[in-house]
Amino acid sequence: MAKRIDVSGLTAFYGSHKAIEDISMTVEPGSVTAFIGPSGCGKSTFLRTLNRMHEVTPGGRVEGKVLLDDEDLYGTGVDPVSVRREVGMVFQRPNPFPTMSIFDNVAAGLRLNGNYKKSELNDIVEKSLKGANLWNEVKDRLNKPGSGLSGGQQQRLCIARAIAVEPKVLLMDEPCSALDPISTLAIEDLIGELKERFTIVIVTHNMQQAARVSDRTAFFNLAAVGQPGRLIEIDDTERIFSNPSVQATEDYISGRFG
Amino acid sequence: MSTAAVTDKRPSTLRAASLPRWTPWAIAAGSLVLGIGISMGAGLDSQIQWGLIAAVLFVLGTFGIAARVEGRRQAKDRVATSLVWVAFLLAVVPLVSLIWVTAVRGVKVLDLYFLTHSMGVVADTEPGGGIYHAIIGSLEQVGLATLIGAPIGVLTAIYLVEYGRGRLAKAVTFFVDVMTGIPSIVAGLFILSLMLIFKMQPFGFAGSLALTILMMPVVVRSTEEMLKLVPNELREASLALGVPKWRTILKVVLPTSIGGITTGVMLAVARIAGETAPVLLLVFGNPFINNNPFEGAQASLPLYIYQQFANSAGSGAAFDRAWAASLTLIAFVMILNLVARGIARWKAPKTGR
Ligand SMILES: Nc1ncnc2c1ncn2[C@@H]1O[C@H](COP(=O)(O)OP(=O)(O)OP(=O)(O)O)[C@@H](O)[C@H]1O
Ligand SMILES: [Mg+2]
């Protein structure tokens, strides 16, 4: 089910500005990989190149290869829409569709993509909401607008929406940065459960979170302001947090940065 | 040191003298009385002059009294507030009086008979007749114009906001801007020149085409603004679910902004519903009922109003009919506005549990 991601020599631009340069890494199927690094070093940019969302930004351009199990996402003839069905995404700020009910929000990806029977949708919506640990809180008000939920609930709704289309990979860009510790914990637990079914990549500014949820951690940095961001190292989370091989990583993790 | 200098300039207490809440009303009443007094004394008999003098007195009085009691900062604040109020009244008074005058003069002959009969053979100087033919003409011409103009306008705006990049988008934006400034008579002349080339007689649809030209840029502009208000995050959320762009626009972007778009279209309709010049040129006017907008001259409400005024020749009957038709037109536009608001509220993104 889950798929491997294999990135080689990836460089991304915003117009003429080179945001990240020459990034190569492998993400094993069914693992959780955390991206850490200072603000502006290109974590979000890199994450968005993994499901071809980068090119949605005006001027966004990518060079290099991203292999999803052996298929190059940037190969000729690859449809970005099918890529995004395989590689789902959860954003930093919860963004449920304001015109849709909770049910419709979760069903949105399916409804907008094909024909499903009402009973099929019911099943999938229930399964996804349960998968996102939200079912008990919303099962009595599935027809109420999604924007009436709390921030943490909205974020879990967005996760339910993303997993409802059954992607192979789930990308999360700082999914807990707007949430309280309890919602954060709920989402971290969720990540632990979801990794059996999906390959998960998560961007976070929270070192403890990276240490708690991830199997592997990648540290990004940029040489100077205006320079493109680079991958400094990627290793098992335990090693990164105990004994990283690069000095800059250790400085960053222990807070001796800059 | 510097902190000491700053605190020295502050009053030692947080309390400050303040005027009671009814002060603005008292000042307003006072300046109104004073304004009328001054005007009568000076022998001014225009009520507009009275009002303006009172307004100036109100602003000055507010400043003077507040500055004395509360201090300069509060006085400035109060002057700004009172200026806003004066500006509001200056805008509202003519509007209300316009509606009032139209309503008072319009109800004289406005009845069911008036709404359901045409002028037919009733001479302009005689009483009787109605505006049924004009209502039909207006509805058909404006309806056809909307049917053509609104979809084109909305689609153009979608192109500009969602797809438009580079030269073509710039060119389209430029032409929309130019079209916004086209005087209605010029749009009429443009269609007229085409009619002359094809040797056609006046007919309703020709008017619709001119109205379409006038309507489209308004629709494009307002729809553009509404689409820009839709947060990019929603588009990205939908795209990231693997929804194609066109479905994202159809199912996420448009539903989120449909309320505002409808309001914009309705306002554009209201605008063209009052156009006289192109209708005069292209539809010509017709005292008889003509249900077919594609053949033969038609009437329309604004045109009817104009012709009744122009041909009244001092007769009271035509005058009354013109006012009654004006009232009908205003009512039509108001109903459109209400409908637009209703739709906007109904379709607005839902909040709450
Ligand atoms: N839409 C955009 N247009 C132009 N440049 C952009 C855009 N988004 C990001 N950038 C630039 O790309 C670089 C990387 O930004 P990115 O958002 O990927 O950083 P980040 O590591 O996610 O930072 P943060 O931790 O603050 O989220 C920055 O220099 C930023 O200025
Ligand atoms: Mg980021």
State the residue range of the domain holding B202.
Answer: 116-347
Residues B101 and B125 in one domain: no
Chosen domain end from B79, B106, B133: B106
Residues B159 and B86 in one domain: no
Residues B175 and B302 in one domain: yes
In this prediction, residue B348 carries a pLDDT of 72
Which distant-in-sequence residues (6+ apart) come within 8 Å of B225 by Cβ? Answer: B260, B264
CB contact under 8 A, B234 and A97: yes
Residue B111 inside a domain? The answer is: no
Within 10 A of A146 (CB to CB), how many other CB atoms are there? 27
Residue B125 inside a domain? The answer is: yes
The total number of residues shown for chain B amounts to 353
Residue having the nearest C-alpha atom to atom 27 of ligand 1: A39
pLDDT tens, position by position, A134-177: 999 999 999 999 888 988 899 999 999 999 998 999 999 999 88
Residues B272 and B158 in one domain: yes
Within 10 A of B309 (CB to CB), how many other CB atoms are there? 15
Q: CA of B115: how far to CAs of B102, B216, B260, B329, in Å?
A: 17, 30, 32, 12
Nearest chain B residue (CA) to A165: B241
Contacts of B353 in chain A (CB under 8 A): 141, 144, 148
CB B317 within 8 A of CB B294: no
Residue B332 inside a domain? The answer is: yes
Residue B3 inside a domain? The answer is: no
Residue having the nearest C-alpha atom to atom 28 of ligand 1: A40
Residues B197 and B176 in one domain: yes
Residues B140 and B99 in one domain: no
CB contact under 8 A, A113 and B352: no
CATH of the domain at B133: 1.10.3720.10
CB contact under 8 A, B350 and A99: yes
> Which residues 139-168 on chain B approach chain A with CB closer than 8 angstroms?
165
Interatomic CA distance for residues A177 and A183, integer angstroms = 10
Interatomic CA distance for residues A127 and A115, integer angstroms = 18
Interatomic CA distance for residues B156 and B152, integer angstroms = 6
Residues B85 and B131 in one domain: no
Residues B246 and B139 in one domain: yes
Chosen domain end from B106, B128, B148: B106
**Ligand closest to the CA atom of residue A45:** 1
Chosen domain end from B106, B141, B163: B106
pLDDT tens, position by position, A185-204: 888 998 998 888 889 999 99
Residue having the nearest C-alpha atom to atom 29 of ligand 1: A40
Quote the mean pLDDT of chain A. Answer: 91
Pocket mutation for ligand 1, best pick of A20, A43, A45, A93 (most atoms within 8 Å of C-beta): A45
pLDDT in tens, chain A (258 residues): 688 999 999 999 999 999 999 999 999 999 999 999 999 999 999 999 999 999 999 899 999 999 999 899 999 999 999 999 999 999 989 999 998 999 999 999 988 777 888 899 999 999 999 988 899 999 999 999 988 898 889 999 999 999 999 899 999 999 988 778 888 888 899 899 888 888 999 999 999 999 999 999 999 998 888 899 999 999 999 999 999 999 999 999 888 754
Q: How far is the CA of A178 from the centre of ligand 1 (A)?
A: 18
pLDDT surpasses 80 at B11: no
CB A90 within 8 A of CB A171: yes
Residues B206 and B98 in one domain: no
Residues B93 and B150 in one domain: no
Q: What is the DSSP string of B19-36?
A: --TTHHHHHHHHHHHHHH
Nearest chain A residue (CA) to B248: A112
- Indicate the number of domains in chain B: 2
Residue B12 inside a domain? The answer is: no
From the CA of A205, give the closest atom in ligand 1: 25
Residue B10 inside a domain? The answer is: no
Residues B129 and B89 in one domain: no
CB contact under 8 A, A97 and B256: yes
Residue B6 inside a domain? The answer is: no
Nearest chain B residue (CA) to A99: B349
State whether residue B350 sits within 8 Å of chain A by CB: yes
Residue B9 inside a domain? The answer is: no
Whole-prediction pTM? 0.86
Residues B145 and B70 in one domain: no
| AA identity, residue B131 | I
- ipTM for the predicted complex comes to 0.91
Residue having the nearest C-alpha atom to atom 26 of ligand 1: A39
Q: Which domains does chain A have, with CATH numbers?
A: 5-97+170-253 (3.40.50.300)
